[in-house]
Structure 1
């Protein structure tokens, strides 16, 4: 069994959208979180979906799931105080239907440019390695600073990678990690970072640069530009096809 855990428990302060959490901002009439859910709903290897959401937006989420015909959603649950706690809430729901060897795909709700191939690779690698984290090579040099003002350390760019989502794990692996986090009072940024902090190796594989996480107003504009370009390409194909 493969479950998708989509978490959107935050309000997205960096987006600066005062009234609407970033996951509910619309692109051409469709909320970003709906576009994210659709990738998992339409994937033939995904069996069910659990969505974690800002508590006072759960009604809106459920209405959107029905309005846009999102299939496979078995439960929507309120988020926690942090991203980790939101994921934890979702995992407890997934654990009700999944066994130790089943796969869970953990993905933030603001990745509307996922691909079927990326999800497939994540599932297959998670089955093989018990963990699967998509990454892209860093195209920029990376410096380290303790205070944000002074720097005396840099990293080799060829060894630096940017993590993406979904991240795939066996339920046995990720539930063990969360049990450890609860015991040690850890609050990691991501599931991959949690496993590394616990001394585990994680398997990484090549992601896709188009798989952007919509976090800032600039990301939103990039997404809109990509959508406009895709429509332009489709229009150009039709023009060439019919000789208009």
Structure 2
């Protein structure tokens, strides 16, 4: 069992986030080139580097989560324990996370935070920890600017609460660990549903203290929230990045025994697989080399040597995500990807949109910036003889001046 820690941060990332639009759960959407969940986890680590991080995810999001983790700094990844699968409701997801923390070594204090709040800073986290130690149960709250009305079933006002006494509650909500674990267990045993963890503590008879929140710590729920996040991050627009670069990539893999080939992170059924040290995703390899070429950073082999056994069978999206991170680290953005798959079979057309969506997710791009084409060589050469697949790619990258 892991030794007892003073502080753990439980990040709840199991929701579907459909109001945010664009199909992907909102915590896996990119904001200024980095997924929301990665921003939240990195912010938690930066604010409290001594804390253990635990994430609760949806069972359908294992691959999305694995990709998200690659965006974190090395020290943040080291602080992150294995994710826990969530339940049908947030309340169940939080309890699953708390039980996992208890099995791994119960902390003194736990902060429970929404994945869709990526802007919590060190000062807020410090206030949360101090409040939990002083009061046992505490939540951040911000004053209301608008007058609030209580209405009846017919829509008529029945009361106007004094807004000076009201607070809009945020996360992270902070607790002494034994207190909130016992409260969650009691809520589950009683079959009651609550809207946040503070209510669960209240139902168990605990007084909950409200400490000052932060207006910048807003939750990403709607498309308008994502636009506000971009503004808050002051992400550069493409037009503000004057240094335009282009890189090209080319890769080839021979067929081997198997029943599918990987193209752009999508498993395409086929009579053969592709041979290679990693998962042999020929399309993703070509795109990775194109991105690396645009910033003059060598090729895949320079960053992930095939002689290194740790990359045997590795998912190629690790390579592509790394190349994209190098662009972001230089303050740049990827403007466009244009790639072509060359083979007689399998047919790429039926899988084109899934491949585009997969690449857009991995690269943090709008799908309209990813072009995928396919062609044959009219039965000429090794691809014409159905001995393998080739792929070509061009990446357009924009960087700051100098």
**1:191: which partner in 2?**
197
- Which region of structure 1 is more displaced relative to structure 2, 183-192 or 59-68? 59-68
Q: 2:210 aligns with which of 198, 204, 212?
A: 204
Q: Is the 8 A contact 1:142 1:154 kept in 2?
A: yes
**2:138: which partner in 1?**
132
Counterpart check, 1:41 vs 2:45: yes
Q: RMSD of the alignment, in Å? A: 2.0
**2:21: which partner in 1?**
16
**1:65-84 per-position Cα deviation (integer Å, ceiling 9, x unaligned):** 13433321112122210110
Question: How does 1:53-68 map onto structure 2 within 5 Å?
Answer: 53-68=57-72
Judged with a 3 Å threshold, the aligned counterparts in structure 2 of structure 1 residues 29 and 45 are, in CA distance, closer, same or farther, namely closer
Q: Is the 8 A contact 1:50 1:90 kept in 2?
A: yes
Deviation at 1:35, TM superposition (A): 0.5
**2:97: which partner in 1?**
90
**1:235: which partner in 2?**
none
Deviation at 1:103, TM superposition (A): 0.6
- Which region of structure 1 is more displaced relative to structure 2, 180-189 or 156-165? 180-189
2: CA distance, partners of 1:12 / 1:148 = 30
Deviation at 1:148, TM superposition (A): 7.2
**1:3: which partner in 2?**
8
Judged with a 3 Å threshold, the aligned counterparts in structure 2 of structure 1 residues 150 and 229 are, in CA distance, closer, same or farther, namely farther
Deviation at 1:200, TM superposition (A): 2.2
Higher normalized contact order (CA 8 Å, seq sep 6+, divided by chain length) = 1
2: CA distance, partners of 1:148 / 1:226 = 40
Q: Is the 8 A contact 1:36 1:113 kept in 2?
A: yes
1: CA distance, partners of 2:121 / 2:232 = 14
1: CA distance, partners of 2:55 / 2:131 = 23
2: CA distance, partners of 1:122 / 1:153 = 32
**2:259: which partner in 1?**
none
Q: Is the 8 A contact 2:10 2:54 kept in 1?
A: yes
Deviation at 1:164, TM superposition (A): 0.8
Deviation at 1:25, TM superposition (A): 1.1
Q: 1:164 aligns with which of 131, 156, 170?
A: 170
* TM-score, normalised by the number of residues in structure 1: 0.88
Deviation at 1:20, TM superposition (A): 0.1
Q: Is the 8 A contact 1:134 1:204 kept in 2?
A: yes
1: CA distance, partners of 2:154 / 2:227 = 27
1: CA distance, partners of 2:209 / 2:154 = 31
Instruction: Indicate the structure (1 or 2) with the bigger Cα radius of gyration.
Output: 2
SS of alignment partner, residue 95 of structure 1: helix
Counterpart check, 1:79 vs 2:83: no
